[in-house]
């Protein structure tokens, strides 16, 4: 007897089924994971004593997604077969998965406050990409050699087997902060944390921080009613304050928090946001490592949200946070949601090249 668990999926991307498969291997779980045209199928032996525990554990590693739909389960006397969609090794451009985020905020991790943390199934990979096939030699990470620990991890960590962009603080990309008088390099865990901490406090005090992110340069600052905010995006740093400041239906909330992290036009709720933006704002939840780490420090500095503008490297600011590596940017994806209907309005990220 077989137990079949199915998830509806509206995409030919395979990062979610790949993540489930890697998690199963890590836990030595016997399960067939097959992605077909419209579903991800998990086929278990019904009598496997680890079945329930494994399904519960999926909650901690499987992110919310724009493309995931309803789930169901059923039993079958015979092992079912499904037509597997073709899988191509393509560079992703999504947010870090829950496991990678956990590493970024774990002080014992070698990737603590390392903004380029990702794995085979998540993260901003496309910005580093230059040409096919998708190998390290064809990305801007070719300038960095993995340390011994990362090299070993690429052979043993099921999330990062042969991951082209594997790196950590020891062997990866260094970042620096520049103000009008000094330049500070981040060389270790404490430096990385301090750099983002200073950035967050500067914004909270009314300063502007120009930051090179994996999606281009962004100018971050605290909004006031005296500013012209028509061309800004509202960055909600604190997930717990989303429903306090915005009028969200559940589909909009899930979309903002999804691993794809789209831009969404949302109705404002709180008086302070109505004063700043009027009846609606273009909203983003932190979508890549640099922005996520800044958002954590924004919260620590006492703010629930800030704004940012997409801009050029020479934009005037009080502080510059930068790193020396060429990136290949995609346009952010904006979506419109009406109940269960999602319309992709514009952009390349998420939907291209798939």
| pLDDT tens-digit map of 37-66 | 999 999 999 999 999 999 999 999 999 999
Task: Report yes or no: 317 and 33 within 8 Å, Cβ to Cβ.
Answer: no
Q: Under DSSP, is residue 70 helix (H, G, I), strand (E, B) or coil?
A: strand
Report how far residue 210's alpha carbon sits from residue 221's, in angstroms, rounded to the nearest whole number. Answer: 9
Q: Helix/strand/coil (H, E, C) string of 113-144?
A: CCCCCCECCECECHHHECCCCCCHHHEHHHHC
CATH, range 176-346: 3.90.870.10
| pLDDT tens-digit map of 190-224 | 999 999 999 999 999 999 999 999 999 999 999 99
| pLDDT tens-digit map of 272-309 | 999 999 999 999 999 999 999 999 999 999 999 999 99
Task: Report yes or no: 345 and 255 within 8 Å, Cβ to Cβ.
Answer: no
Task: Report yes or no: 39 and 8 within 8 Å, Cβ to Cβ.
Answer: yes
Degrees to nearest 5, angle at CA 172 with 166 and 174: 150
CATH, range 2-76: 3.30.70.260
pTM of the model: 0.95
Judged against a pLDDT cut of 80, whether residue 351 lies above it is answered with yes
State residue 342's pLDDT score: 86
Query: How do strand 233-236 and strand 68-76 relate by DSSP bridges?
Result: unpaired
Judged against a pLDDT cut of 90, whether residue 353 lies above it is answered with no
What residues does each domain of the chain span? Answer: 2-76, 176-346
């Amino acid at each position: 007897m077989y137990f079949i668990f199915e998830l509806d999926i509206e995409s030919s991307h395979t990062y979610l089924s790949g993540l489930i498969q890697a998690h199963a291997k890590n836990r030595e779980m016997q399960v067939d994971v097959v992605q077909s045209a419209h579903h991800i199928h998990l086929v278990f032996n019904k009598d496997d004593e680890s079945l329930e525990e494994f399904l519960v554990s999926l909650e901690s590693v499987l992110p919310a997604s724009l493309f995931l739909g309803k789930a169901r389960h059923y039993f079958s006397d015979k092992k079912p077969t499904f037509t597997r969609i073709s899988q191509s090794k393509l560079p992703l451009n999504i947010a870090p998965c829950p496991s990678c985020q956990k590493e970024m905020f774990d002080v014992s991790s070698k990737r603590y406050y390392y903004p380029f943390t990702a794995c085979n199934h998540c993260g901003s990979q496309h910005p580093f990409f230059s040409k096919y096939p998708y190998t390290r030699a064809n990305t801007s990470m070719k300038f960095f050699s993995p340390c011994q620990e990362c090299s070993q991890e690429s052979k043993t960590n099921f999330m990062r087997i042969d991951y082209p962009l594997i790196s950590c603080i020891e062997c990866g990309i260094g970042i620096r902060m520049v103000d009008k008088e000094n330049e500070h390099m981040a060389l270790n865990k404490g430096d990385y944390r301090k750099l983002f901490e200073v950035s967050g406090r500067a914004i909270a005090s009314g300063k502007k921080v120009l930051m090179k992110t994996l999606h281009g340069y962004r100018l971050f600052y605290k909004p006031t009613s005296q500013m012209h905010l028509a061309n800004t995006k509202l960055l909600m740093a604190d997930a717990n304050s989303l429903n306090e400041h915005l009028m969200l239906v559940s589909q909009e909330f899930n979309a903002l928090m999804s691993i794809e992290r789209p831009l969404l036009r949302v109705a404002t709720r709180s008086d302070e946001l109505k004063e700043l933006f009027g009846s609606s704002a273009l909203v983003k939840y932190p979508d890549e490592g640099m922005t996520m780490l800044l958002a954590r420090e924004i919260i620590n500095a006492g703010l629930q949200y800030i704004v940012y503008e997409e801009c050029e490297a020479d934009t005037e600011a009080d502080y510059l946070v930068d790193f020396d590596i060429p990136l290949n940017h995609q346009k952010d994806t904006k979506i419109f949601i009406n109940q269960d209907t999602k319309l992709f309005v514009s952009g390349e990220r998420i939907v291209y090249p798939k």
